Homo-oligomer: A and B are copies of this chain.
Amino acid sequence: MSSAIGIGLVGCGTVGAGVVNLLIEQADMYTQRTGKTLELRKVICRAEDVGEATAQVPADALVHDLDEFFATEGMDIIIELAGGTGFAKTVVERALANGQHVVTANKALLAAHGPELFKLARDNNASIGFEASCAGGIPIITAMQHNLTSNRITAMYGIMNGTCNYILTQMTGQGQAYADALADAQELGYAEADPTLDVTGGDTMHKLVILASMAFAQQVREADVPASGIDTLDLADITYGDEMGYAIKLLATAELTDHGLALSVSPCFIDKHEPLANVSGSFNAISVYGHAVGHTMYYGRGAGRMPTAAAVMGDVLNIATDAYTTLYKNLNLWADQQPAATPIDPAQLTSRYYLRVNAVDKPGVVGQFSKILGDEGISIAAVSQHESEEGQHVPVVIITHAASTGAVQQAAKKIAALDAIEGDPVMLRIIDMPEG
């Protein structure tokens, strides 16, 4: 590359504004570090985004037409921050076909089309930097590409959605109901007006697809990951779990088993002494276990203007020094280079389970649960029942020993059919992390 690196920016909302800010205010530092000048040539954004976010964009750089944008000379790197899988996909494909490097924060796009796009980059002697797509400012992809490569990664557990972690922290710490905590998160800007993708686990699933592909050198697809969210969580279960020494987290889990890759996104209980249990508020963290390095954890802000912009600019600097482009060419760790993943059947996911059943408090009812669980080959580690007036429904909490999800679901179905219980049993996984 020449001594000037031309940059085109697509999307100038929250994160885009952060990128423009870094490019302008840290220009001298970046030149000092890379020996190159980073020149923002064009910014394309929606008319409705023009305003505070574009305040630092030079007037002649702002365009609204994609053909005009791509007609600009000397753009070596295209930063894609439009989001989604429509327009953004067109942008990334056009850039790569031109041999332009792409830096993106777009987890939905890479989860859906990563392998194809990585290959398109390879075929055009370009590269895609995507540190900002997973866990914002946490350099987890950097660690996987540059250092953990010496390990066979055996397991990964991630808190990768700040909205959900904020809501769960509020529910746990303040005893807020889900709807109240969500409303607070929206007011503080931690949750979108439409929080669906966050609270249902979809966003976390996207990130797990990207990270697990790299960690396990398998091409993981969205359909490989059973995902559920926090939107149906009951405060009562968080409280009962808390009393037993567990913290609730929306966890992406990926474990290498003898039968294949065990993948999941769901609210889970983890021991309060686990480092991940102490990750509060909108922070994210990922625990990665390598066969040689053991337990490593990466912690930081998973979203927000400047943390995400910092990750974007980290990629830009790595491309400016040619280091990332060299790695992209020579390291065989990208999803397009990997065989299709071999995920296990979700019914075979194995863990301990927390079951809560609203039972009629009469002698024999726990015996009935016990019999049903026993028939499915599930043994009980602990049972606790709150005091109640005779004849009322009371919550009975059962902690199982390790069992397959399928067996626990089967048992829960049979328990739900009993006369002595009300509603469907609540099932939550209890994740026992490896000794690290």
Contacts and interface: CB of A to CB of B under 8 A. Distances in A.
Interface residues of A, number: 63
Interface string A18-46: 10001000100110111100000000000
A285 B279 CA distance: 14
Contact of A139 (B296, B300, B307): B296
A333 to B, nearest CB: 6
A142 B147 CA distance: 7
A146 interface: yes
B295 A310 contact: no
A111 to B, nearest CB: 21
Nearest to A136: B293
Of listed A312, A316, A330, residue having the most chain B CB within 10 A: A330
A381 interface: no
A394 interface: no
A309 B294 CA distance: 11
A33 B333 contact: yes
Nearest to A291: B306
Contacts of A318: 146-147, 149, 327
Given A143-B143, A332-B34, A138 B321 contact: no
Contacts of A142: 139, 142-143, 146-147
A148 interface: yes
B278 A307 contact: no
Interface in A103-151: 131, 137-139, 142-143, 146-151
Contacts of A375: none
Nearest to A151: B310
Given A143-B143, A147-B131, A307-B293, A321 B313 contact: no
A137 B296 contact: yes
A295 B290 contact: no
A322 interface: yes
A298 interface: yes
A321 B327 contact: yes
Contact of A152 (B26, B293, B296, B314): B26
A146 B296 contact: no
17 contacts: A22-B292, A30-B150, A32-B332, A33-B217, A35-B330, A142-B146, A150-B310, A150-B313, A275-B278, A278-B278, A285-B297, A292-B310, A293-B300, A293-B310, A294-B304, A295-B300, A323-B327
Given A34-B330, A293-B310, 6 more contacts: A142-B147, A143-B143, A278-B278, A292-B307, A298-B298, A321-B327
